[in-house]
Structures are given as C-alpha cells and as structure tokens.
Structure 1
Amino acid sequence: MAVPTHAELADHLVRQIDIRLVDPLEILLDDPLDDLRGRAHHRAGALATALLDGDDPAALHTAIRLYSSLHPGDGPFDPPVAWWRTPLGQVVAARFGHPAAAGVSLPVAGAMLGISRQGVHDLVRRGKLDRHPDGGVTSDSIRDRLRTQPAPPATRS
C-alpha cells in the first residue's frame, strides 16, 4: 500500500476533523462554527506536513495528538483493523509500524500493508516479514517493508 500524498492526507484529516470534532460541536452549540472549521481546514495541511516530512519524534507526537483527538478514550492505542487502511493509518504504519505493539495479528498486518491475511502469511513463509515470538508479525518488519516499497508512478494531469 502506497503512502498517501500530502493532498490525500490533508483531505482525509479535514474530513475527520469535520465529522468527529466540528460537526458534533455545531450540533451541541446549535451554532455554525465556520471560523473554527476554516482554522481546522487550514491546520490540516500543516498536520499532514508534520506527519509526512517531520522528524520521527515530531511526526509521532502529531499522530498521537490526532488519534487521541479524533478517537478519544481511556484505553491504550489499539485502533480497529479498518483504521490502518485510512490515510492516517497508512502514514503511521509506514513511519512507525504499530507504535504501541512489537507484534500484530495477521489481519492487522494485512490492513497495515493493504493486503489479505493470506498475503501476509505468504510473506512470512517466504521470509519477507518476521514472525513475532508471541504470534503474528513484528511491527518493525511491516514498517520496513512499507518503507522499501517503491512509490507508484506519478500521474500526469
């Protein structure tokens, strides 16, 4: 799975901020929040830049802030499988693997890589991904595989 472009990631962040943060506030306050929505949309570009181009500590801090704001809860970082297929999940997987787990299940590994569980199993069998001692796949081997995959060819407009 290719890492999303800056525009794809920024657009995804804009949608998530609208759906998960601004829209509920508008409903609760019964008042349009156009200024806040505009500020959030503007900030999405800077957040995308930090995630894609920032140094590892800054990018990880940005990812943690975004995830915890968009998906509040008291539990540990354990996103659903589908989250790894989102542009934000794809960037996190490519930059850090799973930041909170040394190993992940085959379904999570598949979502992180954008392939089926069987595809993950085949990569493990061929030595392209490392099996975690507790089962599943090591997060580092997923990250390393994503980092070495060639970028898709650019499309011309």
Structure 2
Amino acid sequence: MTSVEAGDLVERIRPLLTTESEWRMMNSLPLPKSDGGAVLPGVPSSYLEMLKIADGFICGPVVMFDSSTVISMQFYAENPEGSSARLTKEEWFCAGVVSDEPWFINRLDESIWLFPDTGVEWWMSEQFEEAAPSLKEFLVDVVCGPRYVSLTGAQEGDQWWRLLERVGRIQEGV
C-alpha cells in the first residue's frame, strides 16, 4: 500500500514545479487519476495505488509511465533477441524508465528492480538488482531522496537535485 508519506511528499513538491522554469519544463507530477486506474487489468496494486497520488511522474531522468501509456510499454518485459536478461510479462511489470533504461515491479512481491548503469545497453547487462522493496520506498527514498544521485548518475546540483534540496529531502554535499 502506498503510504500517506508518499502522497504528502508529492503534494509538497507539486506546487514548487511552477516556481522555476527549468523545474516546470523538466519535471511533472500530474494530478491523480480520478478512477485510480481501475480500468487497467493485470497491473500491480502498488502501481494502481500510486495513480491515486499522481498519474505517472517525470522527476529528472526518472519516469513512471502514466496510465494511458503503461500498458503499451510492456514490451520491455520481453526478452530482446541476444539478451542476457531473463524477463517475462508474467513476472515483471515495466512501470517506467531511468534515463531510457527500464525499471520493473516484481509481480510476486512488488519490489522494484532495474538494470544498473554498467556502460552497456540494459538488455545486454548481466546485472539486474533490487532498487527498493516497494514502489512507495522507490519514490520516497530513491527518486525523491538521498539515493537519487546514485540511481541516476546525475551530478549534485542538477535541477531535480536542487528541487529535492529545496524541500529538505537531501543536503548539499551528502
């Protein structure tokens, strides 16, 4: 279940996006889906819960697909020819990307997994690792928290980092 903490955090960040032109152009936290995504069959419950907070998001290079796009993006959960990855749509749900590299919700336990940047295309990577135990923790602790820089490879001081600093989620030099 997505916590009140995630919703409160999004509500603190959303109005700030309009205060600087770079934040407004590069990020998005759309309003929640009015139906909570109820018309999306086969979608993990944590994704549906997140739709009650925001219908997708763009937070720097981290994207969660919106409800009108997410089903069409499930091609990421198929193994490309020559791939080292062993993905299936039955086990994995592609919920978004980090700098064009997909991240997934494990359908069994709803943990968040991704291919860390190793210098090769994601589908050629031998590494596939858990980024967070839940979508709520991925949003709160990684995307909007101190693990943002290590997840994205962004430089401290990039536009999303500055926004996180403004809301007190990270500190300079940390």
TM-score, normalization: structure 2?
Answer: 0.31
Larger radius of gyration, structure 1 or 2? 1
Hey, which of these two has a bigger chunk of strand by percent? 2
The structure that is helix-richer by fraction is: 1
